[in-house]
Structures are given as C-alpha cells and as structure tokens.
Amino acid sequence: MTLARFFDTIGPMLLGPADAETTAVALLGEPSALLTERLALYRRFCDLHRHGTLEGVFAETHGAVVVTVSEARWDKLLAVYFEAHVPTDWELNGNGMRFPEFLARSEDVADLPRWIAELADLEWLEWQTHVSPDVPSDLSKVGPRRLGSTVALRVYQHALLEWLDADTEERPSAPRECSEAALGGAPVLFWRDGALRMHRETPAAETLVVLQAVELGRPTEALADALGLDAARVRAAESELRTCGVVIGGT
C-alpha cells in the first residue's frame, strides 16, 4: 500500500464519516479485532479534539444546544460544521471562527432557536477580546481619537448578558427577546483593558454616543446635543471610556 493510498483510506475515518470497521477492512482485507479496536480509538481521539475545539470557547452555546435540543444534536452540529469548515488552523480554537456565522446562516440549523447563534457570536467575541493580538497603538495616548483595537459593539435580539449573568439555578430556559428596544435590540460592548482583562457589558446611552462620535470623527458634545442627551453625562462617559482603554488619543 502506498502512502497516498494509506491516507486516502484512513482519512475519512479520522475526519469522522467512516467507521473503524469499514476502514480496517479497506486497509487490510481481514483485519484483526485488535486493529479495528485501536483504529476506533484513534477515531475517538480525533473526534474528541473536534469537540474540544468548540466546547471550550463555546461552552455556553454547547450547554444551550444540549438543554434546548440534545447532546446528539450537538454532535451532529459539529459534524456538519467541520464538514463545511475544514479545521485548517494549527491553533485549535481558531477553527471555531466560523461557528457563529454557521449557526446564523446554515440551513442545517433551522431547528435551533435564533438566540443560540447570537450566544455563539457573543462567546466568540469574548474569546477574541481575551486573546486577540496586541496592537502597539493601543498603548499610545498620542494620535487621533480612536477606539482600542479590541473594542467591539454588537446588538443582539435577545438579552444575552442578563441571561448569562443570572444565577444558573434561576436562569430561564431562553434569554428574553428584546427586539422592541430603542436600539433594535440589546447592545453589548466588548473590550480589553490596560491590565489585559476582558470586559463585556451593556453600554449606557451616553457610552453609545461617545462610540458613535469617535467612529464618525465628530465632536461628542455636538452629537449628544443632536440626540438630546445631557452633555455633562456624555463628557463623564467619555472620560470613563478613556480610563478603561476603550477610547484612546485625541487629547
């Protein structure tokens, strides 16, 4: 057997679709029970790594799928995801990058509640906020006013933070839907502070105005005026955002 044929034969088992029995027969014709058993072991190891790829970063999403549907549904979800998005990254967690998008768009997940895709997006952003590469300009107070490189703002249709931060004993089976809110949902602000701690919280209206002003390159007070917000409170919000590293420069 050539090396190329060896990999062609064993690959489908290691990637999940083929079972050990079929693979053992394809490799050896009449394999021993021991070989089949040990091939099954390798198949199991590879499967565990695929699970580990998603169950670390997306621990809450995993739990939500299991509670809402079943562990078997989660297993199937993983198989379909990795078939669609081959794990090419040598950094294990990096292979989960497209999981939130997959949950949001794939026809294979139409049976799952929509908030589960939002939860996966939130968990991915938490992870990215924690480990995204350092950007030297984050440490420099000079230069134009800007947002820190780890700052991200998402608006979800469900009150995910309220749900995640609830006592697990009292947590409802699903987060509250909040699409009627003024902003069209529940905003969540993510950032990493100067001490390299990850934060995610619901931003106040004043905070959102500051973020918008920075993004648009407009004076904060002018935007606050236009939106009818108290200028002093908006100034205080900007000062606090500078302290915690969300807004940088421009002074």
Partner 1 sequence: MRAQEIGGVGVGLRRPYATELLERAENLAGRVDWIEVTPENWLRYGGARRRLFEQAIECFPGVPHSVSLSIGGTDDLDGTLIDAIGELCDRWGAPWWSDHLCYSSVAGAQLHELLPLPFNEEVIEHVARRAERVQAACGVPLVLENATYYAAMPGGTMDEASFLVGAVESADCGLLLDVNNVWVNSLNHGTDPEAFIDRMPMDRVLQIHVAGHTRFDHVVIDTHIGPVSEPVWRLYRRAIARAGRFVPTLIEWDQDIPPLDRVLEEVDRARIEAGRALGSEETP
Residues that bind partner 1 in the complex, under the rule CB under 8 A? 1-4, 6-7, 10-11, 14-15, 27-28, 34-35, 37-39, 41-42, 45-46, 49, 52-53, 82, 86-92, 94-95, 130-135, 192, 196-198
Residue 203 per-residue DSSP state = P
* Min separation Cβ 221 and partner 1, Å: 33
In the bound state with partner 1, the residue whose beta carbon lies nearer, of 24 and 160, is 24
Per the CB < 8 A criterion, the answer to whether 78 and 48 are in contact is no
In the bound state with partner 1, the residue whose beta carbon lies nearer, of 87 and 250, is 87
Per the CB < 8 A criterion, the answer to whether 202 and 188 are in contact is yes
* Min separation Cβ 198 and partner 1, Å: 8
Give one DSSP letter per residue of 52-102, joined into a string.
HHHHHHTHHHHHHHHHHT-HHHHHHHHHHHHHHS----SSGGGGGTTHHHH
Orientation of helix 33-57 relative to helix 59-68, angle to 10°: 110
In the bound state with partner 1, the residue whose beta carbon lies nearer, of 158 and 192, is 192
Residue 177 has phi, psi (to 5 degrees) of: -80, 140
In the bound state with partner 1, the residue whose beta carbon lies nearer, of 35 and 155, is 35
* Min separation Cβ 196 and partner 1, Å: 4
Per the CB < 8 A criterion, the answer to whether 235 and 220 are in contact is yes
Tokens of 200: 């995610």
In the bound state with partner 1, the residue whose beta carbon lies nearer, of 6 and 70, is 6
* Min separation Cβ 160 and partner 1, Å: 22
* Min separation Cβ 137 and partner 1, Å: 13
CA distance linking residue 173 with residue 163, whole number of Å: 9
Question: Residues, the chain, total?
Answer: 251
